[in-house]
Amino acid sequence: MPNDALVVQASPGVREGETILDCSGPFTIQTFFSFQNAARDLDSTRVLIVDLTRVPYMDSAGLGALVGAFISGRKSGRRMALVGAGERITALIRMSNLGQFFPLYASRDEAEAAFSAAQ
């Protein structure tokens, strides 16, 4: 599986200024460039929801790509959340003490509701 691709599809969220990045495949040092490329094109996005439901595993480089997207978005006031992270990815995020930066939600609906309530 190391050569499997990470496919990232961007789509608008339910609210203006919201983007969903739907990721599918391993999120690793060999594959994270597709995420970086998709995340670079989100200048007008105020809320970024990264759907990891179909990501079976992530390594530290993949986690670093998420951190990079968080930092670049934070400069412009963008908020970010992760949805559908499996146990392995959730454990990696918690072990790295990054849970405070990446709110974790079970579904897109849950994340969108949380962002709506915060506005």
Query: Residue 53's domain spans which residues?
Result: 7-118
pLDDT at 119: 62
CATH number for 90 = 3.30.750.24
Nearest to 111 by CA among 82, 85, 88, 86: 82
pLDDT at 46: 92
In the chain, the number of structural domains is 1
Task: Write the pLDDT tens digit of every residue in 72-119.
Answer: 888 888 999 999 999 999 999 999 999 888 899 999 999 988 888 766
Element (H or E) spanning 97, and its range? none
The predicted model scores a pTM of 0.92
